[in-house]
Structure formats: structure tokens, C-alpha cells
Structure 1
Amino acid sequence: MDIKEILIAVGIVCLISLIVGVALGIAEKVFHVEVDEKEEKVREALPGSNCGGCGYAGCDALAHAIASGEAPVSGCPVGGKPVAEQIAKIMGAELGEITRKVAYVKCDGNSDKRTLDYNYIGIYSCTAASIMPGSSPYACKYGCLGFGSCARVCPESAIRIIDKKAVVDESLCIACGKCVKICPHQLIELVPAESHYRVQCFSHVKGKDVRDACTAGCIACGICQKVCEAGAITVVDNIAKIDYEKCTSCGKCAEKCPRKIIKKY
């Protein structure tokens, strides 16, 4: 190959590069999307965990939602009040009251309290165990399976399995909601961290069946509902439920509960 052919090849490459560069420049102008400056600042303030606990696909999606007014400035459960305060300043908005939440497992049925229906031999996963006959190897088909699916998805290691039941360390919990989503029995919910009384059961069967399955189950007797002067606790579908906005933490429900499944925290 002589020098002339080499120069022609180099020229062709340069010409192609020039054409591609011009094309990309035109495309950038044609398809350019303006990014809201506030959205960028909100995104920088977010922790970047992309956990989905806010209900959006990730931090980018939440930042867009906050900047556009679709989500509140306190929309990030992981960042909590410090991050909410930063975002409120960026958005020029009032912060309002922030309630810290934590994951709570609505079951007190450890191995000493519940009856075993059969021995489960299979994948060590709550999801796998829940598709077996009756959705659980235990007589109670609503309780914690204890195979640790929630613990494995927790980014802060805030959940441990103790005596075949999930237990949350609230000091580590960031309320990302991953455990809530993965629990096949829908046993975990996010509750106000300052809530002092909680119902530690989620069974929806009637009293006799509860007694046969677990010594720590709610029998829907309704005593808690009767003694609550604030009307904060009701029995629906055979299970007591507390409205934390109404609860005054008087403790009468826990005091009168014959099964002692309303616990003080």
C-alpha cells in the first residue's frame, strides 16, 4: 500500500467522523430534554439507595415526582427528616410534621406457641414454603414462616430470625419497605416508630381455630375495642387493628387482652 492509498483511507475516516459528529450534534439539539434544576438538586439530596420504599422506581423517579409536585418533600423514608429538610429548602416548601416509621411483624408465634402441621423440607424461603399445602407447615396459616426472606432483602440487616420468627431491630430499620413487599403472608407493615401499643397477630380465623393453632393468637373477643375510649381499636375480620392516629397510648387494650397479644413498645 503506497502513501496515496493511506492518505485516502485517513481522509475517509476523518470525513465519516465529521459526519457522525455533526449528526450527533443535531440529534442532541432535536431530542434534548431540559432537566429541571430543582430536580437535579433534589436528586443530589436523596441518599441514592434506590430501594423503592417511596413507591417509585428509584431515586431518579422520586426526584422527578417531588420536583413536579406529585410527591411530598418527605417522600423518602430512608433519608427521614434530615433529607426532607434539605429538599424542603430546595423546593421552597413547608416541611410539616414528619413521622418516622419502622417495619413491624404482626406475629408472636414462636416455636413454643404454635402447632406444627407437618415438617417442611424444601427451599429455605418463605415464598417457597407458602406455596405448599395450606400455605404454611404450621397450623396457623397466617403467621410468620420464619425462613428469613425478609431478613435477606433488608439492606440494613435490621431483621433477624429468632426462634423461627422474624424480629425487627427498630434502631436499624430505615422503612424501605422491602420486607413488606416480600412477605408472602403480608405480615409486615410500616408503623409509626413512636406507637406504643401494637397487635402482634394477623390471623383471620375464629376463636376456636386460633386456640387450636397458637397460644398467642387474637380470638377476636372484642374486649380491646370495648375498653378503648378513643375508638382507636376495632375488630374486623376476626382480628384487632389499631388506628395509630387515634391511639392515646392509654394501655387499656393491652391490659385487658386475655391473650396478651397487644404488646407495649
Structure 2
Amino acid sequence: MSMSAILIAALVMSVLGLLFGALLGVTGRVFKVPVNEKAEALRECLPGANCGACGFPGCDGYAAAVADGKAEVGACAVGGPACAAKMGEIMGVSVSASVRMVASVACQGYGDHCKPKADYQGMTDCVAASLVNNGTKACRYACLGLGTCERACPFDAIHIDPIKQIAVVDEEKCQACKKCVAACPQHVLSMRPAGRVVNVGCHNPEKGIALKEKCDRACIGCEACVKACNFGAIEMENGVPKIDYEKCVGCMACADACPTGAMEADFETRKEAYIDPSKCVGCTMCARQCKFDAIEGALKQPHKVLGACTGCDRRAPRNKLDKVKKAPAAASKPAAPAAAKPAAPVAPKATTENK
């Protein structure tokens, strides 16, 4: 091949390169997609989990929707209040603090409480097991404990308890993405506000003795919890109690009244009111506020808290009340003289902190 042929070929390729480059440049300008700078700024605020809990296909979709005014600021459960505040600054809107939500397990069918109805030897998957005779446990609504929710969680916030063999949620890690809720074929999982001390531990809508035979922790629909709640925070829905956490004060009276233990409560953290005698002016306001008749005292005299106190969060406006950890019921029973004698004349009663 002659040198002239090589030069011509190189020249032709250079000209073609220039032409195609110019064509691409013109095409890029003509068909340029305008970039929404707000959407890009909003995307930088988001954590990038792409969990879909906001209802949009990933963080990019949510950022674009907010920038276009098609979605509200603060729908990102993973980012939380800090992310919502940054997005609010970009959009020029104020963001009110939202209640942090976490996944909750409505089942206590573990161990001997709810026995298996068959020896399941199939796939380690709740969806597969639920297709075989409505699950492996006597209660068709029970948590099957095969880890479908655990595998669905992108935040390592839910695990199967190795002893109980039911799902357990780590509230600290839970980001309210609802992937576990969507993955559970038994509908055992739902969302509730974080840090609550009371939870409905059963979602079986059946009633009566037949249900009790399937699981001794089942809700039998007796409505004892509804009657025990002095704040109107519990209603029956499809035969199962539903807690309105905006009204719930954490008194745990519903769990005390439940005959089967279907109402779960964190009794270890239960506290009771403490009245500081040096601050109490005997206005009787606390006694009037208390729905459990757990405070007594004469007008203009220091009041005292009785054993009926449930440790609810209902406070008198003067805020002279504090709360201390409630002693176990066995230790506070007046019928135990042996335990009461060392505590001598009313001294511990006056310093309720030792109660």
C-alpha cells in the first residue's frame, strides 16, 4: 500500500470524525433534556436506599416528584426528620416533626402456645409454607418463622428468634420501609409508632373456645381491654383490638385486663407517679386528673400515690409529678408482713423512689 493511500484514508477518517462529532453536538443541544436543579439537590439529601417506602420507584423518582410538586416533603422514612428538614429548606417549606414508625409483630404463637399441626419439611420460606394447608401451625394466622421477612429487610432490622421461632423487630434499626410487611404472607406484620409499651400480640379474627385451643395467647374478642382502657384508645376492628396510639398513654391497663395475654406490654419498664412533698401544695389537681383513683390527699395537704397507679403519661398541668420505676406487684402487696416489717413506719412510702 502506497503512502498516498494511507494519507487519504487518514484524512477521510478525520473528516468523518469531525462531521459525526458536530452532528452529535447539534443533536445534544436540540434534544437536550432540561435538568431540574431542585430534583438533583433533593436527591443529594436522600439516603439512596431505594426501598420504595415513599411510594415512588426509588430515591430518584421521589426527588423528582417532590421537585415537581407531586409529593410531600418528609415521606422518606429512612432519612427521618433530618432528611425532611433538609428537603424542606430546599423547597422553602416548613416540615412538622413526624412520628417515627416501626414494624410490629402481631403474634405470640411460639413454643407450646401454638403447636405445629404437621412436621414441615419443605422450602424455608413462609410463602411456600403458607400454601400447604394454610401454614404449619395450628393457628392459620400465626407467624411461621421461616424468615421471609428477614430476607426482605434491607436494614437487618428483623430476625427470627432462634428459640421462639417467630419474627422479632429491632426498633433501633427499623427504617419503616414496610418491605417486611409486604413480604409476610400471614399479614402478621404492621406499622406502629416506635417506643410504645403496649402492642396487640394477635390478629386472628376468630372467637371463642375453638380459637383458645389453637393458641393459648390468642385474642378471644372478649373486649376486656376495651373496657379497661379509661382513655378510649382501644376499639375492636374485625374481632381484634386496635390501639389508637394518639390516645394511648401507656398505662398498660389493657394488658392487665387481658385474660389470655394477647395484649403485650413491657411491664419491666412500668413506672409510677412520685409526688415531691416539698413542692406539693395540695391543690388536688393531680387527684382529679387521675383516672385510676391512685392519688389521695386532703385539700392544701401533701398528696400521696397509691398502689393503683399504672404509670400513665397523663400529667397535672402544674408538673409537680415525676415518675419512678414501679416495683413488682409481689413486693408492693400489703399482705406480705415479712417484707413490710423491715420497711418500718411509713418511711419508704414518703420516699417513693424506693418503692
The alignment's TM-score, normalised by the length of structure 2, stands at 0.70
Instruction: Name the Cα RMSD after superposition.
Output: 1.7
In structure 2, C-alpha distance between the alignment counterparts of 1:120 and 1:224, rounded to whole Å = 35
Task: Find runs of 4+ consecutive structure 1 residues off by over 6 angstroms.
Answer: none
> Is the 8 Å Cα contact of residues 141 and 204 (structure 2) preserved in structure 1?
yes
Query: Are residue 170 (structure 1) and residue 166 (structure 2) matched?
Result: no
Q: Residues 84-163 of structure 1 correspond to what in structure 2 (within 5 A)?
A: 84-134=84-134, 136-162=135-161, 163=164
Task: Single out whichever of 18-27 and 39-48 deviates more from structure 2.
Answer: 18-27
Q: Which has the higher contact order (CA 8 A, sep 6+)?
A: 1
Instruction: State the 1:68 CA deviation.
Output: 2.1
Task: Single out whichever of 58-67 and 224-233 deviates more from structure 2.
Answer: 224-233
Secondary structure of the residue aligned to 1:123 is coil
Structure 1: gaps of 5 or more residues: none
| Structure 1 match to 2:262 | 261
| Structure 1 match to 2:38 | 38
Letter in 2 for 1:102: V
Which whole-Å deviations, capped at 9, do the CAs of 1:168-200 have from their partners, x for residues lacking one?
A: 111121212211111111211121103331101
Query: Are residue 192 (structure 1) and residue 196 (structure 2) matched?
Result: no
| Structure 2 match to 1:76 | 76
Which whole-Å deviations, capped at 9, do the CAs of 1:199-249 have from their partners, x for residues lacking one?
A: 011112222232121111111111212232333211122211112223232
In structure 1, C-alpha distance between the alignment counterparts of 2:94 and 2:69, rounded to whole Å = 13
In structure 1, C-alpha distance between the alignment counterparts of 2:19 and 2:192, rounded to whole Å = 59
| Structure 1 match to 2:241 | 240
| Structure 2 match to 1:227 | 228
Instruction: State the 1:56 CA deviation.
Output: 1.3
Secondary structure of the residue aligned to 2:12 is helix
Secondary structure of the residue aligned to 1:115 is coil
Q: Residues 22-33 of structure 1 correspond to what in structure 2 (within 5 A)?
A: 22-33=22-33
> Is the 8 Å Cα contact of residues 81 and 97 (structure 2) preserved in structure 1?
no
- Structure (1 or 2) with the larger CA radius of gyration: 2
Which whole-Å deviations, capped at 9, do the CAs of 1:86-126 have from their partners, x for residues lacking one?
A: 11111111110221111111111112210211111111111
> Is the 8 Å Cα contact of residues 200 and 241 (structure 2) preserved in structure 1?
yes
Structure 2: gaps of 5 or more residues: 267-355
| Structure 1 match to 2:4 | 4
In structure 2, C-alpha distance between the alignment counterparts of 1:257 and 1:6, rounded to whole Å = 94
Task: Single out whichever of 238-247 and 42-51 deviates more from structure 2.
Answer: 238-247
Q: Percent identity?
A: 42
In structure 1, C-alpha distance between the alignment counterparts of 2:189 and 2:92, rounded to whole Å = 35
In structure 1, C-alpha distance between the alignment counterparts of 2:31 and 2:187, rounded to whole Å = 44
In structure 2, C-alpha distance between the alignment counterparts of 1:161 and 1:146, rounded to whole Å = 6
Count of equivalent residues = 264
In structure 1, C-alpha distance between the alignment counterparts of 2:259 and 2:16, rounded to whole Å = 83
Task: Single out whichever of 81-90 and 63-72 deviates more from structure 2.
Answer: 63-72
Change in Cα spacing, 1:9 to 1:132, as seen in structure 2 (3 Å) is farther
In structure 1, C-alpha distance between the alignment counterparts of 2:4 and 2:123, rounded to whole Å = 70
> Is the 8 Å Cα contact of residues 176 and 191 (structure 2) preserved in structure 1?
yes
In structure 2, C-alpha distance between the alignment counterparts of 1:33 and 1:232, rounded to whole Å = 52
> Is the 8 Å Cα contact of residues 147 and 160 (structure 2) preserved in structure 1?
yes
| Structure 2 match to 1:182 | 183
In structure 2, C-alpha distance between the alignment counterparts of 1:197 and 1:237, rounded to whole Å = 19
| Structure 2 match to 1:63 | 63
